[in-house]
């Protein structure tokens, strides 16, 4: 194997530093014994005890996770199906319609979803806005991302593989289960992780579609801006990062190749 | 199956909701002790949602969000809500404690006769400063001159920030010139503009977000900002054991006062609890707890006995009648005036 040149290592190192240094600082300051976030004073676990006693923040974190899990699961299933459909039926309009919610400004999507929920769900189904409306809204904008990723991965494949499976006597379901799905699994996983992350940190759409009494982490943190953000936010961010990291490690254990080939 | 049960357990607190009052509020704008006392008294639950900006709250309500019993908007946002017919008129018979509010804060321009709103708390836009530094430099701390006059600013070059807000900065300059903060005479605006342009080279920045930290760390010695922020900076500096103290004062020429009021939204299902809450917050002790928490200005005469003496002595929390007379609430501008102000602001910014 040819040895990698030094500059490549340097570039890689710089890229990782670029990605992780800001996060590292967030983690570091969550242990800082000062509410200023300005200079290092001393080590403390004070902000974590503060966090454990802060019901608002914990409820918001719980809501965020719940919404992200539900939305990313649903969006992954629907988005994967949409990706397959677009691949199968070569209709021009389908990919355009799937991509539109991705390209649309968030504020527009947020307001129109709120109007839609108010015009349709409240009078017809008697449903008030709540957590469900946030989940539905998040599914809406996540589907597009999953669809795109799945479709791109399908486009890169040799169609004759699927034909070969059918020739050898596989039913359409068997073809999907044994051939197509394993091949697109990395893309599906990537879509799911992307949806999870997007849902977790969405502010604008959540702000509009959240019902009374439903807060998420971004809403909670943003509303604290007026009174200055404390390192408690760093603490909760650190825990979330740990959780996300844990999920990725777990996912790579379950399906190592899938993670590696998506580059996550 | 176990996962499903866990999930239900997680969601369930939202399910059994019998007597609940929904308050749409600023973050950290009520003390936990007050909430606990109210919940005990009304045998109900107080659920809060938060916004960080009046426009944000107005936008969400305008798009049809419903279910909020009470909101705490600032000054003119109350007027917008009244005009769009979103508020329920108050039943004053249910609010005997309204007598505690000082008359100066009643019958405001945005809600004459207080048909819809009851004062909650306020902030004053004033100057906060590094007490030791300003004493050392022998500078005055009771006048807008110190952020506008080059003879003072020369000693403070690069150590001053002003708010990045057209209305607030113009108001400061107008007040210094002896006009009303709501003056819309273009000739007066031009004088204010020239004053600001003359002072601008001495300022470090237009800053609306991080001056609390800059003051506390010691990078900035003088800042134009809100009284509640200055209170925060003062506390932070004390807690961090800084070798200096942060103080703040209302300039003698007068300043801008921003009054937050409680209003009842029509979409809220519990106007009964909402009235009960308003009357409860008008009790001196409950109102005082907010001031002790964040150093907000307090319009409640019955609150004084419960307020931390150090805070009560502060003119920015309880302005003397003399200062109070010179405080003004900002009025909305019409479209033409807004355009002129924007142009003036651009002229200031490009210089």
Read off the pLDDT of residues B6-60 as tens digits, 9 standing for 90 and up: 444 444 444 444 799 999 999 889 999 999 999 999 999 999 998 888 888 998 8
HSE, CB side, 13 Å, CA atoms: give it for residue A15.
6
Q: Which chain B residues are Cβ-neighbours of A219 within 8 angstroms? A: 50
Name the residue among A69, A188, A77 with its Cα closest to residue A138: A69
For residues B170 and B59, membership in a common domain is answered with no
Distance, in Å, from the CA atom of B258 to the CA atom of B161, rounded to the nearest integer, reads: 20
Domain extent listing, chain A: 54-262
Segment 9-68 of chain B within 8 Å of chain A by CB? 10-11, 13-14, 20, 22, 24, 26-28, 47-53, 56, 59-60, 63-68
pLDDT at residue A55, as a whole number: 85
pLDDT at B204 over 50: yes
Read off the pLDDT of residues B75-114 as tens digits, 9 standing for 90 and up: 889 999 999 999 999 999 999 999 999 999 999 989 999 9
For residues B218 and B116, membership in a common domain is answered with no
Please answer whether residues B245 and B44 qualify as being in contact, where contact means their C-beta atoms are separated by less than 8 angstroms: no
Instruction: State the count of interchain CB pairs (< 8 A) between A and B.
Output: 95
Tell me what the pLDDT averaged over chain A comes to: 85
For residues B180 and B278, membership in a common domain is answered with no
In which element (H, E) is residue A139 found? helix A131-155
**Cβ <8 Å between A225 and B11:** no
DSSP states of A42-98? -B--HHHHHHHT-HHHHHHHHHHHHHHHHHHHHHHHHHHHHHHHHHHS--THHHHHH
Containing structural domain, residue B215: 123-256+330-350
For residues B234 and B305, membership in a common domain is answered with no
For residues B114 and B173, membership in a common domain is answered with no
Task: Map residue B237 onto helix, strand or coil.
Answer: helix
A4 backbone dihedrals φ, ψ, rounded to 5°: -70, 140
Residue B297 DSSP label: B
pLDDT at residue B12, as a whole number: 43
Read off the pLDDT of residues A180-210 as tens digits, 9 standing for 90 and up: 899 898 889 889 988 998 898 899 999 999 9
CA distance B68 to chain A (A): 7
Q: Which residue of B has its CA nearest to A60?
A: B49
* Section A82-91 average pLDDT: 86
Q: What Å distances lie between residue A100 and A106, A188, B216, CA to CA?
A: 11, 20, 47
- pLDDT-derived band at B148, boundaries 50, 70, 90: very high
A211 backbone dihedrals φ, ψ, rounded to 5°: -80, 175
Report the residue of A215, A227, A231, A232 to disrupt the B interface, i.e. the one with the largest count of B CBs within 10 Å.
A227
Residues in Cβ contact with A92 at an 8 Å cutoff, skipping those fewer than 6 apart? none
- pLDDT-derived band at B147, boundaries 50, 70, 90: very high
Domain count of chain B? Answer: 2
In this structure, the strands spanning B20-26 and B160-162 are unpaired
Distance, in Å, from the CA atom of B204 to the CA atom of A225, rounded to the nearest integer, reads: 22
Residue B11 within a domain: no
Q: Which residue of A has its CA nearest to B11?
A: A63
B7 touches chain A (CB under 8 A): yes
Residue B10 within a domain: no
Domain topology for A54-262: MetI-like fold (1.10.3720)
Interface of A with B (CB under 8 A): 34-39, 41, 56, 59, 62, 66, 111, 114-115, 118, 122, 128-131, 207-208, 210-215, 219-220, 222-228
Q: Which chain B residues are Cβ-neighbours of A215 within 8 angstroms? A: 49-50
Distance, in Å, from the CA atom of A210 to the CA atom of A218, rounded to the nearest integer, reads: 12
Residue B177 within a domain: yes
Residues in Cβ contact with B321 at an 8 Å cutoff, skipping those fewer than 6 apart? none
pLDDT at residue A254, as a whole number: 63
For residues B211 and B312, membership in a common domain is answered with no
Name the residue among B288, B272, B243 with its Cα closest to residue B69: B272
Q: How many residues does this entry show for chain B? A: 351
Residue B265 within a domain: yes
DSSP states of B34-97? HHHHHHHHHTSEEEEEEES-HHHHHHHHHTT-----EE--BHHHHHHHHHTT-BPPP-GGG-GG
For residues B205 and B111, membership in a common domain is answered with no
pLDDT at residue A244, as a whole number: 79
CATH code for the domain in which residue B271 is found: 3.40.190.10
- pLDDT-derived band at B2, boundaries 50, 70, 90: very low
Residue B173 within a domain: yes
Distance, in Å, from the CA atom of A149 to the CA atom of A143, rounded to the nearest integer, reads: 10
Distance, in Å, from the CA atom of B175 to the CA atom of B327, rounded to the nearest integer, reads: 10
């Amino acid at each position: 194997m040819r040895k990698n040149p030094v500059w490549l290592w340097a570039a890689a190192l710089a890229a990782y530093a670029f990605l992780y240094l800001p996060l590292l600082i967030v983690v570091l300051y969550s242990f800082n014994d000062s509410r200023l976030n300005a200079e290092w004073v001393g080590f403390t676990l004070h902000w974590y005890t503060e966090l454990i006693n802060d019901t608002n923040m914990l409820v918001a974190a719980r809501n965020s996770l719940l919404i992200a899990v539900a939305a990313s699961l649903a969006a992954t299933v629907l988005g994967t199906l949409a990706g397959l459909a677009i691949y199968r039926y070569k209709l021009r309009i389908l990919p355009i319609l799937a991509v539109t919610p991705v390209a649309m400004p968030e504020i527009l999507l947020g307001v129109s979803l709120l109007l839609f929920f108010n015009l349709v769900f409240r009078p017809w189904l008697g449903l008030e806005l709540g957590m469900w409306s946030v989940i539905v809204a998040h599914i809406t904008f996540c589907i597009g991302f999953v669809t795109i990723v799945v479709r791109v991965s399908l486009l890169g494949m040799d169609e004759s593989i699927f034909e070969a499976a059918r020739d050898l006597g596989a039913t359409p379901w068997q073809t999907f289960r044994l051939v197509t799905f394993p091949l697109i699994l990395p893309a599906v996983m990537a879509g799911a992780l992307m949806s999870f992350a997007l849902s977790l940190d969405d502010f604008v759409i959540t702000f509009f579609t959240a019902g009374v009494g439903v807060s998420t982490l971004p809403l909670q943190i943003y509303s604290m801006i007026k009174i200055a953000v404390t390192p408690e936010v760093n603490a909760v961010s650190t825990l979330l990062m740990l959780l996300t990291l844990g999920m990725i490690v777990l996912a790579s254990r379950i399906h190592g190749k899938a993670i590696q080939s998506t580059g996550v | 199956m176990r996962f499903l049960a866990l999930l239900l357990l997680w969601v369930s607190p939202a399910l059994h909701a019998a007597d609940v009052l929904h308050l749409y509020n600023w973050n950290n704008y009520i003390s936990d002790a007050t909430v606990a006392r109210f919940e005990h008294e009304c045998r109900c639950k107080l659920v809060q949602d938060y916004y960080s900006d009046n426009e944000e709250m107005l936008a969400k309500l305008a798009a049809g969000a419903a279910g909020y019993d009470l909101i705490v908007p600032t000054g003119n946002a109350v007027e917008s809500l009244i005009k769009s017919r979103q508020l329920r008129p108050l039943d004053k018979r249910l609010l005997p404690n309204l007598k505690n509010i000082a008359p100066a804060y009643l019958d405001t321009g945005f809600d004459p006769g207080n048909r819809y709103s009851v004062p909650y708390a306020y902030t004053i836009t004033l100057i906060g400063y590094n007490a030791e530094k300003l004493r050392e430099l022998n500078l005055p701390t009771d006048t807008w001159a110190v952020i506008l006059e080059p003879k003072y600013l020369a000693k403070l070059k690069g150590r001053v920030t002003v708010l990045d807000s057209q209305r607030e900065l113009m108001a400061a300059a107008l007040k210094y010139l002896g006009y009303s903060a709501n003056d819309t005479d273009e000739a007066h605006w031009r004088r204010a503009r020239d004053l600001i342009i003359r002072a601008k080279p001495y300022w470090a920045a237009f800053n609306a977000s991080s001056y609390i930290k800059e003051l506390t760390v010691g990078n900035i010695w003088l800042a134009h900002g809100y009284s509640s922020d200055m209170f925060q900076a003062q506390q932070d500096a004390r807690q961090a054991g800084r070798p200096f103290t942060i103080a703040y004062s209302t300039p003698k020429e007068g300043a801008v006062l921003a009054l937050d009021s409680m209003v009842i939204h029509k979409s809220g299902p519990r106007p009964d609890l909402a009235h009960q809450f308003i009357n409860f917050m008008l009790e001196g002790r409950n109102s005082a707890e907010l001031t002790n928490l964040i150093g907000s200005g307090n319009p409640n005469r019955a609150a004084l006995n419960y307020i931390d003496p150090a805070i009560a002595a502060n003119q920015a929390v309880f302005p003397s009648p003399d200062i109070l007379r010179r405080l003004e609430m900002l009025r909305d501008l019409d479209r033409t005036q807004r355009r002129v102000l924007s142009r003036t602001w651009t002229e200031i910014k490009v210089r």
